[in-house]
């Protein structure tokens, strides 16, 4: 038996939007995306707002149509409507029918799936409990808070026990308790062997939950790998925390340092560490700690965004 088919395969997916006067200009919201999500893994889609995460997910769900490229879910083309029986989707900032109750909405969505009436009732009841909406199940959705709506959204995404679950910003609008609950659900799905793809810009969640992450900035995929791999791409160096009484010397080292009271923080590249330490000792500073700067996804991210913006500006300036 060969390698198992990836749960989600994306091949050269691109999306262009016309905009401006008479729709003559084109905006590229996704450029040539190629990646896979393996069966049973939790994959995080990271990127700032407008980077193309939602666009990718909407393309996968056939809410919008690609300008070029293809994709497959569970080995089937995304055009295959029947395949949707086995996948679940939570849209960004979900909103449902004002005048229906949670039970009614879930029952309504469940009707599109293959299950008997009894099965349906049972599943709806179970899922309401799981997402913590049991007490509110008879209240009309127009009275729900954003967080409650998010839970309804999650419920309808997993109600039919899909193999692949796609969540667009599942944590948004939730308080810390709610976010923890969602994280638990995602972990539970993973334990059950489901594949989960979710997009987020909350990087700590991604670090905690994902087997792998993919980073999208400016419509392009910048990297795919485990969270550790991603940040390991760049080392930031070492950070020295020291104390100095009296006046600081006017050297480059000191000018780079951040001062709070009598404490200083300075970052130096790894290679310069010992030279810096010598300099400080000679200046009479007391070294408090030396630590490796562990870059966070956030910083990696920010740098990418910065670099991207700089490139865009450069292009503008060059007039093309």
Partner 1 sequence: MKNVLTVATNTFREAVRDRVLYNLVFFALLMMGAAILVGQISIGIEASVIVSLGLTAISVVGLFIAIFIGVGLVSKEMDKRTLYALLAKPVKRWEFLLGKFFGLVMTLTVNTAAMAAGLYLALWTVKHSFEKSDVYILAAVYLILLKLALIVGLALLFSCFTTPFLAILFSAGIYVAGVFAQNLRTMTVVDLNASTMKMLRGISYLLPNFENFNVMGTVAHGGVVPGALILNATLYALVYCAVVLTGAAAIFSRRNLK
First CA to last CA distance, the chain = 51
Shortest distance, position 95 Cβ to partner 1, whole Å: 5
Partners of residue 73 on adjacent β-strands = 8, 76
Q: Are 257 and 266 in contact (CB under 8 A)?
A: yes
63 binds partner 1 (CB under 8 A): yes
Using the structure block, give the residue that is written with the tokens 């997916």.
13
Number of residues that bind partner 1 (CB under 8 A): 31
Shortest distance, position 24 Cβ to partner 1, whole Å: 18
123 binds partner 1 (CB under 8 A): no
Q: Measured from the CB atom, is 82 or 245 closer to partner 1?
A: 82
CA distance 72 to 8: 6
- From 19-27, 30-38, 61-69, 218-226, span contacting partner 1 (CB under 8 A): 61-69
Q: Measured from the CB atom, is 76 or 263 closer to partner 1?
A: 76
101-134 as b/e, with b when 16 or more CB fall inside 10 Å?
bbbbbbbebbeebebeeeebeebbeebbebbebe
- DSSP H or E run through 206: helix 203-209
Q: Are 227 and 39 in contact (CB under 8 A)?
A: no
62 binds partner 1 (CB under 8 A): yes
Shortest distance, position 93 Cβ to partner 1, whole Å: 7
CA distance 213 to 215: 7
Burial class of residue 157 in the structure, from the number of CB atoms within 10 Å of its CB (0-12 exposed, 13-18 middle, 19+ buried): buried
58 binds partner 1 (CB under 8 A): yes
Pick out residues in 257-296 that bind partner 1 (CB under 8 A).
Answer: none
Binding string, residues 151-190; x marks residues near partner 1 by CB under 8 A: --x--xx---------------------------------
Shortest distance, position 19 Cβ to partner 1, whole Å: 12
Q: Are 299 and 239 in contact (CB under 8 A)?
A: no
Q: Give the HSE-up count for residue 65: Cα atoms under 13 Å, Cβ half-sphere.
A: 1
Q: Measured from the CB atom, is 66 or 295 closer to partner 1?
A: 66
- Local structure of 245: helix, strand or coil: coil
Binding string, residues 75-114; x marks residues near partner 1 by CB under 8 A: ------xxxxx-xxxxx-xxxxx-xx-------xx-xxx-
Q: Measured from the CB atom, is 128 or 297 closer to partner 1?
A: 128
Shortest distance, position 63 Cβ to partner 1, whole Å: 5
State the pairing for strand pair 164-168/195-200. Answer: parallel
Q: Measured from the CB atom, is 64 or 305 closer to partner 1?
A: 64
What does the binding site for partner 1 look like in residue numbers (CB under 8 A)? 58, 61-65, 81-85, 87-91, 93-97, 99-100, 108-109, 111-113, 153, 156-157
């Amino acid at each position: 038996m060969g390698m198992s088919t990836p749960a989600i395969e994306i091949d050269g997916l691109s999306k262009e939007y016309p905009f401006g006067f008479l729709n003559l200009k084109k905006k590229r919201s996704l450029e040539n995306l190629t990646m896979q999500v393996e069966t049973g893994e939790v994959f995080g889609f990271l990127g700032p707002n407008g980077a193309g995460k939602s666009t990718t997910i909407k393309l996968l769900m056939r809410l919008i149509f690609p300008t070029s490229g293809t994709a497959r879910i569970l080995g089937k083309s995304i055009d295959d409507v029947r395949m949707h029986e086995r996948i679940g989707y939570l849209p960004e900032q979900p909103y449902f029918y004002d005048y229906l109750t949670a039970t009614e909405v879930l029952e309504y969505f469940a009707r599109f799936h293959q299950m008997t009436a009894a099965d349906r009732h049972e599943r709806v009841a179970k899922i309401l409990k799981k997402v913590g909406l049991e007490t509110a199940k008879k209240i009309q959705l127009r009275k729900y808070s954003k967080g409650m709506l998010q839970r309804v959204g999650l419920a309808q995404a997993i109600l039919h026990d899909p193999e692949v679950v796609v969540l667009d910003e599942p944590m948004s609008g939730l308080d810390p308790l709610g976010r923890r609950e969602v994280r638990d659900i995602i972990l539970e799905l993973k334990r059950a062997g489901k594949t989960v793809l979710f997009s987020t810009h909350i990087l700590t969640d991604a670090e905690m939950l994902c087997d792998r992450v993919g980073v999208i900035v400016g419509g392009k995929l910048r990297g795919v790998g485990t969270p550790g791999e991603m940040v390991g791409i760049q080392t930031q160096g070492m950070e020295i925390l020291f104390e100095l009484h009296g006046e600081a010397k006017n050297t480059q080292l000191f000018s780079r340092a951040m001062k709070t009271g009598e404490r200083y923080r300075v970052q130096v590249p790894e290679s310069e560490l010992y030279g810096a330490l010598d300099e400080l000792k000679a200046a009479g500073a007391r070294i408090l700690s030396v630590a490796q700067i562990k870059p966070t996804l956030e910083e990696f991210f920010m740098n990418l965004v910065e670099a991207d913006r700089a490139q865009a500006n450069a292009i503008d300036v060059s007039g093309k």
